[in-house]
Structure 1
């Protein structure tokens, strides 16, 4: 077989290896909150490579909570910020609940899907997805503006599995970079609660090291610089 035939055969094999999810349209459904309510639960079913994006409108500084109850151990959800394909929460890594302060205003997408091995087998998942968004954005530093961290030890407790994602969101806002440029370590328990050490890549301004702190109940305290130029 000459190189031309080898190249064609390789291309055909690569095309056959493309997962079906790439060819399956993602279903979009906007989450509607009942009048006067800040949360809603939707029930759905997915099979194989089917994927559903639940669209949730929210503003910077608001807090969002998402939880998934499902019949399948292979069903998860991701949270994607407005106008981005980069998830700020990956359920297959962090579990079935997300709690976080939102950095951007716009339509967030909660993407429900099956893991590839289960999708390949054509498995089905029945689920209840609960989404909650607080009624108003958090206040800014000294002026009540949106998008700033809340008061010390305020807000709902964050589970240990969600702490790294929550920490990345808070740090990305404090250092003015996208979550992709935030790196976090593991959750470490101490006498007062839990801490996560991380770093923010600010490009020409260098790498800034920080520590996210949570109290004994899992409530977020602050992002604390742990070197002089990390402020």
Structure 2
């Protein structure tokens, strides 16, 4: 084999093993606030490996809030600061709401995407994304959390309810589910846990309830989703 053939084969192997997400172009949209407004809501959809960056210009010291409502439990957003690809917020780990003070001035990107497991299946998610930027950080509150459905689950039953929902989602026996105590925060109630799927590994998840105790979803906390 001569060096040209070797180079061609090496290139083919490299291309075949690249993550599919790297081959999907990122769509960019700039978010403009109406005159006098400090927030805006955009609506859209992503399918498969689609990725959308919503760009917002802000100054150091301002406060930003971002809230995502979506039809899919596998859709999330990250926040990337100016001139950097290192996210300051990772929705697949931190949830669907962000509120914090900004350290740098420039264009911030709110990146909406699907987790790899859903992207591989070509799933589609519609979403509503609300972005707020306030000149005085002290005046901005935490972004409202998502709202659950059905009747509120009594506090003493939430862990058991979470385990039941996780059993259905991960398809394992009851003794392969582990959960931690419920924790209340500003946007609702969370219960973290793990599902042992044997050869597929241990999957971390989070059960979410709203502030009234209504169940929202079981959110995958591992990067490969389910």
Q: Give the TM-score category using the shorter length.
A: 0.5 to 0.7
- Aligned-residue offset at 1:156: 2.3
1:117-196 equivalences in 2 (<5 Å): 117-134=117-134, 136-137=135-136, 156-157=141-142
- Specify every segment of 5 or more residues in structure 2 that has no aligned partner in the other structure, as ranges: 145-182, 184-226
- Say if 1:109 and 1:156 are closer, same or farther in 2 by CA, change over 3 A: same
**CA deviations over 1:8-30 (Å, ceiling 9, x no partner):** 86764442121221111101000
Moved over 3 A (4+): 5-14
SS at match of 1:108: strand
Q: 1:130 and 1:32 mapped to 2: Cα distance? A: 12
- Say if 1:101 and 1:92 are closer, same or farther in 2 by CA, change over 3 A: same
TM-score w.r.t. structure 1 length?
0.56
The answer to whether the 8 Å contact 2:53/2:110 transfers is: yes
Q: CA RMSD in A?
A: 2.7
Q: 2:142 and 2:46 mapped to 1: Cα distance? A: 30
TM-score w.r.t. structure 2 length?
0.57
- Aligned-residue offset at 1:49: 0.5
The answer to whether the 8 Å contact 2:67/2:143 transfers is: no
Tell me the number of residue pairs that the alignment of Structure 1 and Structure 2 aligns.
145
Report the counterpart of residue 49 of structure 1 in structure 2.
49
Report the counterpart of residue 18 of structure 1 in structure 2.
18
The answer to whether the 8 Å contact 1:59/1:137 transfers is: no
SS at match of 1:22: helix
- Say if 1:29 and 1:157 are closer, same or farther in 2 by CA, change over 3 A: closer
Q: 2:6 and 2:76 mapped to 1: Cα distance? A: 39
Report the counterpart of residue 83 of structure 1 in structure 2.
83
Q: Is 1:101 matched with 2:101?
A: yes
**CA deviations over 1:169-196 (Å, ceiling 9, x no partner):** xxxxxxxxxxxxxxxxxxxx9xxxxxxx
- Aligned-residue offset at 1:117: 1.1
**CA deviations over 1:114-147 (Å, ceiling 9, x no partner):** 011111111000000000000x255xxxxxxxxx
The answer to whether the 8 Å contact 2:76/2:91 transfers is: yes
- Specify every segment of 5 or more residues in structure 1 that has no aligned partner in the other structure, as ranges: 139-149, 160-188, 190-231
Q: 2:128 and 2:140 mapped to 1: Cα distance? A: 24
Report the counterpart of residue 69 of structure 1 in structure 2.
69
The answer to whether the 8 Å contact 1:26/1:51 transfers is: yes
SS at match of 1:103: coil
- Say if 1:93 and 1:24 are closer, same or farther in 2 by CA, change over 3 A: same
